[in-house]
Amino acid sequence: MKRTCSIAARIALCFLVSGAPATASQTAEAPRPNLLLAIADDWGFPHAGEYADPVVRTPNFDRLAREGLRFSRAFCSSPSCTPSRGAILTGQHFWRLEEGANLWSTLPARFPVYPELLEQAGYFVGHTRKGWGPGQLGERKRNPAGPEFKNFEQFLGQRPKGQPFCFWFGSQDPHRPYEPGTGLASGMDPAKIQLPAHLPDSEEVRSDVADYYFEVQRFDREVGGLIQRLQAIGELDQTIVVMTADHGMPFPRAKANLYDAGTRVPLAIRWGEKIPRPGRVVTEFVNLADLAPTFLEAAGVAVPKEMTASSLLSIITSDDERHAGPERDHVIFGRERHTQAQEAPDGGGYPSRALRTSRYLYIRNFAPARRPAGTANYLKSFLDRGWLGDCDNGPSKFYMWQHRNEASVRPHFARAFDLRPAEELYDLDRDPDQLDNVAGDPDHEKTRRELSEQLMAELKAGGDPRVAGGGDKFDRYPYYGGVPTWPW
């Protein structure tokens, strides 16, 4: 703990708390770190070698974890691209971002984002490929992730000499669609794939997961190229390298759902000698929104009061096996409208919030009369609304639909697409796959009540409109995207 405090103290002394650029003498005393965020699109936990996945190969993620930290309980703020990325950039819970709480929306310009704050403090900032989004910029003049560059090489080429940088590498992998058969053609053995328990076991589904793994591996290779470039210029150890994803895998009951398959993500952080115990596994609960205040604190830039997330800097620089206090013993997250997939004229989403502890997952569904993945009326979807539109089209979804009445598939289909109750509770000691809802079990009533009260209290304190009032506005915000339709 003493070491952590001394590092934080040195940082505070070396930089101006106003967020202004450091002077030459300050920079010479303690150079500000470079910041590199490599973020995948739809990569879920535990699909990496360091998490003991037996098939997917992620040598570069594994290296970052060995030479830095591996987080075993990292969660996104919302399992949907736009709100998750908005939360990362703003350091706030997604429900505080107004229109930005929805997919294909706008992130209001009044919300400060860490790349702009760092730019004002003298950092050279930029992004490539997928930054914040999808959505419309509205009053913003550029993507909140920073100016766009063709690639990392171009970014470094335009960087002024000696200036610290903040770069967002936003891969589109492993977002759908996939090229069918790429996983098998690459040599993966589908029999060795550990299928998530919420998916049916079939040749089609296993091949689909292999294709997803193929794109995870491509993302990992590209991150390896970034690491090699940092080594070539001699700046790897003075760069905070973060490798993660915006949310879970694009499969039924995963992406756009509040189960671990949708919200839990891989996370590794490397920072040279600033990490006193390389290879340490961080078991505290963290939210990806914590990255914004972490980057600002590491750079010596004041964290705006609007940022409700908590910096990870003390965890990163600690040599304690377990560093955090009770505020890190759980995490909360949720979702609003993903796609506009409900039966017309309902333009709303599937509003829900959740609290996750080491033993329990408690979910509150605010509109249980709506379908969690949208309407299954394929004819109507062809005419005006999506077909199960909150689940990306792909072989696993098609297989589950085609075989939905078979005994081996029906339970999986029901959990993914049928109506859900207002409350869900999963005892992870008995049910780590989160398949058996015990919210109505008398033996779990005390736990259900306590977690419900805790979740509602935290949401109210955080200004969540679904609890504080006015939550219906999320359903009325404009939607600028498309919806998956029946595969005609």
Alpha helices by DSSP H, 370-444 = 378-383, 395-402, 410-417
Is 371 part of a structural domain of the chain? yes
Domain stops at, among 271, 303, 328: 328
Residue 488 confidence (pLDDT): 63
Residue 218 sits in the same domain as residue 301: yes
Strand-pairing partners, residue 71, are 282
pLDDT digits (tens, 9 = 90+) for 240-278: 999 999 999 999 999 999 999 999 999 999 999 999 999
The residue among 284, 302, 328 that closes a domain is 328
CATH code for the domain in which residue 230 is found: 3.40.720.10
Model confidence over 294-322: pLDDT tens digits? 999 999 999 999 999 999 999 999 887 66
Can you give the CATH number for the domain in which 464 is found? Answer: 3.30.1120.10
In this structure, the strands spanning 34-40 and 165-170 are: parallel
Instruction: Report how many domains make up the chain.
Output: 2
Q: H or E segment at 125? A: strand 124-129
Decide if pLDDT at 28 tops 60: no
pLDDT at 13: 33
Inside any domain, residue 446: yes
362 and 463 part of one domain: yes
Query: Residue 483 falls within a domain, yes or no?
Result: no
Write out pLDDT tens, residues 87-102.
999 999 999 999 999 9
Range of the domain at 336: 332-476
List all residues 6 or more positions away from 32 whose beta carbon is below 8 Å from its beta carbon.
Answer: 15, 22, 122, 123, 164, 298, 299, 300
- pLDDT surpasses 80 at 471: yes
Q: State whether 227 and 352 are in the same domain.
A: no
**Partner residues linked to 105 by β-bridges:** 135
Task: Work out the end-to-end distance of the chain between its first and last CA atoms, rounded to an integer number of angstroms.
Answer: 60
Identify whether residues 317 and 405 lie together within a single domain.
Answer: no
Please tell me whether residues 410 and 457 are part of one structural domain. Answer: yes
- pLDDT given at position 26: 38
Are residues 309 and 370 located together in one domain of the fold? no
218 and 345 co-located in one domain: no
> Does residue 113 fall inside a structural domain?
yes
Handedness of CA 417, 418, 419, 425 (dihedral sign): negative
Same domain, 234 and 363: no
**pLDDT tens readout for residues 157-192:** 999 999 999 999 999 999 999 999 999 999 999 999
Residue 383 has pLDDT above 80, yes or no: no
Averaged pLDDT for residues 111-131:
98
Residue 481 counted as domain residue? no
In a domain, 288, yes or no: yes
* Residue matched to tokens 């997961």: 209
Kindly state whether residues 172 and 115 are assigned to the same domain. yes
Torsions phi, psi for 65 (to 5 deg): -65, -40
380 and 264 in a common domain: no
Count Cβ atoms below 10 Å from residue 149 Cβ, excluding itself. 18
In a domain, 60, yes or no: yes
**What's the rounded Cα separation, in Å, for the pair 13 and 21?**
13
CA-wise closest residue to 47 among 193, 187, 228: 193
Domain boundary among 281, 296, 328: 328
Q: CB-based burial of residue 327 (10 Å sphere; 0-12 exposed, 13-18 middle, 19+ buried)?
A: exposed
Mean pLDDT of all residues belonging to the chain: 92
Same domain, 114 and 249: yes
Q: What are phi and psi of 186, to 5 degrees?
A: -80, -5
pLDDT at residue 327 is higher than 90: no
In the Cβ-directed half-sphere of 21, how many Cα atoms lie within 13 Å?
13
Candidates 357, 173, 372; CA nearest to 257 is: 372
Is the pLDDT at 425 greater than 90? The verdict is yes
Q: Which residue has the tokens 């997952």?
A: 361
Q: Is residue 137 part of a domain?
A: yes
Predicted confidence at residue 29, as pLDDT, reads 57
Give the per-residue pLDDT at 344.
85
Co-location of 120 and 21 in the same domain: yes
Radius of gyration of the chain (CA): 22
pLDDT band at 19, cuts 50/70/90? Answer: very low
Residue 349, SS3 per DSSP: coil
Query: What tens digit of pLDDT does each residue of 336-346 get?
Result: 999 999 988 89
